[in-house]
A and B are shown apart, each in its own frame.
Chain A
Amino acid sequence: MPLLKVTDLRTYFHTRNGVYRAVDGVSFSVERGETLGIVGESGSGKSVTCYSIMGLIPQPPGRIESGTAMFDGVDLLHCSPKVARSIRGKRVSMIFQDPMTSLNPYLRVSEQLVEPLLIHGDVPKREALARALEMMEAVGINDAARRIHFYPHEFSGGMRQRVMIAMALVTRPELLIADEPTTALDVTVQAQILELIRRLQKELGMAVIFVTHDLGVVAGLCDNVQVMYGGRIMETAGARALFHSPMHPYTRALQRSIPALQPKGEELFTIPGLPPDVSKELPGCAFAPRCGFAVDRCTAARPGLEEASPGHAHACLRERAGEIKVEAL
């Protein structure tokens, strides 16, 4: 049984300007110890997916229209608040993009680190502090015994991100949701943080959902990757399969537009048009209006996400029918 199984999740935002279908029918699962990467551009619904699982969607305007998120037999979206509280922050925790806005500037780091332990466990404060200190050392903060009493502003950006990781991991969660944890950091610091997440994951045996827009980060870290666009999953596959034999035109287009994979100086491939307006009903494939291979069929009915080979699923009608070969583009 997978650790987390999300089925047909729909999160809509009801605003004065209309209904925004931020997440529109997303299903996936995460096994114990697995690293799942979710990639997509801004507005693709990758963060909202995570926020929905964590119960962080402001309601209103947001509303979870349908779906279940089964975590070890409990539906996180429909269980009682009490049950949810016993899981969130303890067995599932989350780290965010910007550590400065996610740490409380008024509280010493020590207080923020022991808080999850005091709330969730019957750990006495002294022991909680000892465990917090242990975690600070595990994330590679030198002189932790002294710096645990610092305020967040006394740390640099990379160190703050370490503090946030320590805070998320202090309860030894089974699932860590990381929402662009390295986007705001320099590449050298990003390399440190990725190394840290990789090491701690091995030590603690936890599963990780890693949200990012950087295909490079995904390549090094993730076992499986799903590509999102317009609130839907376009393709999901093992990391090697996704990079070496993509099956959805959007995945391929993303790859072709990164300078790192193209010969120097040559014109980069660009995706024409603009990201989809999720406030409008999209009857067909969300990518069809920008896809170079779209035919009438693509805009008529919404293609489902179906497996083409074990573990590799995509939502392109034409690839499935054998009319185009995305890999060879």
Chain B
Amino acid sequence: MPENILELRDVRTHFPIHSGFLVKHQVGSVRAVDGVTLSVRQGEVLGLVGESGCGKSTLARTILQLVPTTGGAVILNGRNLGEATRAEMLACRRDLQMIFQDPYASLNPRMTVHATLAEPLIVHGICRPGEVHGRVAELMGTVGLAPRFAWKYPHEFSGGQRQRIAIARALALKPKIIIADEPVSALDVSIQAQILNLLGQLCKGMNLSLVFIAHDLSVVRHISDRVAVMYLGKIVELGPAADVIDRPSHPYTRALVSAIPVPDPDIERARQRIVLAGDPPSPINPPAGCAFHPRCPYAVDRCREAVPPLIPAGPAREAACIRLDEIG
């Protein structure tokens, strides 16, 4: 089995809430990520899904150490990033890159494509000045952009092309793992397909690991090997992507899957839908016990008592529900 390139051990990211006019004091905290344990293997695509506010983007930022962790450890290639010095962190960042959702906001409008792609090469001293040009052209080729576009600015490109530039920038340092936070959500269907194909090819071709964050389950099912479902800062289900999405076991995953509209009128009209009532609760004051119990159709008194741990639920699968056997 290939080794784990990234490991998360009980990672917590809480944001303090301050109140008071003259004397600020902490009145609570937003538990955006609240005890996540995960591992990503070499060359694996891990999908991370959940509703907005479930902490998936914060988890991405925590992995990259863009926000400080409150507890737990992020381990990249055997090294705990929380304990790394600045110099060590800089070296680690070569292996760990990110692609953001909005290619309109994540590219510097004052930098040409060449400048954007050359910067990491120079900062990390990867290329000699004479080689930069060739490497930039090579990167552009990898993501399907003609090298003659190198001197253009981001505003001259369409959304899909910008996302390609963002991908090229992430690839510039030959990372081992890329965290992609909703990389296709802002794109039209036909462009989305192009970017998904590109990401799929890159992962296969370069044996690259990818953490793919999205709210669209059909996209995640398509691209991921394994999928993790998040609810209110915790992983509630984990397993092989097609398995989890075709035969979900946790009640939340069931509801989530049942909410996706299927592009086929016959199936769509015949199916029974679990419509969840209400909105996800606030991560400031999460419900006691299983955070999903107030919206769960299967909840019983026991669910309010303790936070359910992830327990085995079939081959290579885990789910955090104490009633798995009872609800069938």
- Residues of chain A at the chain B interface (Cβ within 8 Å): 41-42, 156-159, 186-192, 194-195, 213-220, 239-240, 243-244, 253-255, 257-262, 264-265, 267-271, 274-275
The residues of B that contact A239 with a CB separation of less than 8 Å are 265
Are A189 and B279 within 8 A (Cβ)? yes
| Binary per-residue interface labels of chain B (204-218) against chain A in the complex, 1 for a CB within 8 Å, 0 otherwise | 000000000001111
Task: Tell me if B261 is interfacial: C-beta within 8 Å of chain A.
Answer: yes
Query: Which of A188, A215, A267, A275 has the largest count of B CB atoms less than 10 A from its CB?
Result: A188
- Residues of chain B at the chain A interface (Cβ within 8 Å): 51-52, 158, 188-190, 192-194, 196-197, 200, 215-219, 221-223, 241-242, 255-256, 258-269, 273, 275-277, 279
Chain B residue nearest to A40 in the complex (CB): B188
A253 to B51, CA, bound (A): 29
Are A187 and B217 within 8 A (Cβ)? yes
Are A267 and B200 within 8 A (Cβ)? yes
Q: How far is the CB of A311 from chain B (nearest CB, A)?
A: 14
The residues of B that contact A262 with a CB separation of less than 8 Å are 222
Chain A residue nearest to B192 in the complex (CB): A257
Are B190 and A271 within 8 A (Cβ)? yes
The residues of B that contact A244 with a CB separation of less than 8 Å are 265-266
A267 to B216, CA, bound (A): 18
Chain B residue nearest to A184 in the complex (CB): B52
Are A264 and B222 within 8 A (Cβ)? yes
A268 to B223, CA, bound (A): 10
Chain B residue nearest to A238 in the complex (CB): B265
Given that A213-B189, A254-B190, A258-B189 are contacting pairs, would A187 and B197 also be in contact in the complex, using a CB cutoff of 8 Å? Answer: no
Are B261 and A219 within 8 A (Cβ)? yes
Are B188 and A268 within 8 A (Cβ)? no
The residues of B that contact A270 with a CB separation of less than 8 Å are 190, 193-194, 197
Query: Which of B190, B193, B222 has the largest count of A CB atoms less than 10 A from its CB?
Result: B190
Given that A187-B51, A269-B193 are contacting pairs, would A158 and B263 also be in contact in the complex, using a CB cutoff of 8 Å? Answer: no
Q: How far is the CB of A143 from chain B (nearest CB, A)?
A: 12
Contact for B190 among A158, A214, A243, A257, CB less than 8 A: A257
The residues of B that contact A259 with a CB separation of less than 8 Å are 193, 196, 218-219, 221-223
Chain B residue nearest to A192 in the complex (CB): B275
Q: How far is the CB of B160 from chain A (nearest CB, A)?
A: 8
Given that A41-B190, A156-B279 are contacting pairs, would A268 and B196 also be in contact in the complex, using a CB cutoff of 8 Å? Answer: yes
Are A188 and B222 within 8 A (Cβ)? no
A42 to B104, CA, bound (A): 15
Given that A257-B193, A267-B200 are contacting pairs, would A216 and B263 also be in contact in the complex, using a CB cutoff of 8 Å? Answer: yes
Q: How far is the CB of A287 from chain B (nearest CB, A)?
A: 11
A112 to B189, CA, bound (A): 36
The residues of A that contact B52 with a CB separation of less than 8 Å are 186
Are B158 and A254 within 8 A (Cβ)? no
Are B259 and A191 within 8 A (Cβ)? yes
Query: Which of B193, B221, B259, B261 has the largest count of A CB atoms less than 10 A from its CB?
Result: B261
- Other A-B contacts than A42-B188, A195-B273, A264-B222, 11 sampled, CB-CB below 8 A, are A156-B279, A189-B51, A192-B277, A216-B261, A243-B263, A257-B192, A259-B218, A261-B264, A262-B222, A264-B221, A271-B193
Are A187 and B259 within 8 A (Cβ)? yes
Are A260 and B218 within 8 A (Cβ)? yes
Are A186 and B51 within 8 A (Cβ)? yes
Are B265 and A219 within 8 A (Cβ)? yes
Q: How far is the CB of B187 from chain A (nearest CB, A)?
A: 9
Contact for A220 among B192, B221, B241, B261, CB less than 8 A: B261
Are B222 and A265 within 8 A (Cβ)? yes
Chain A residue nearest to B273 in the complex (CB): A191
Are B260 and A186 within 8 A (Cβ)? no
The residues of A that contact B158 with a CB separation of less than 8 Å are 274-275
The residues of B that contact A213 with a CB separation of less than 8 Å are 188-189
Given that A41-B189, A264-B221, A268-B222 are contacting pairs, would A216 and B200 also be in contact in the complex, using a CB cutoff of 8 Å? Answer: no
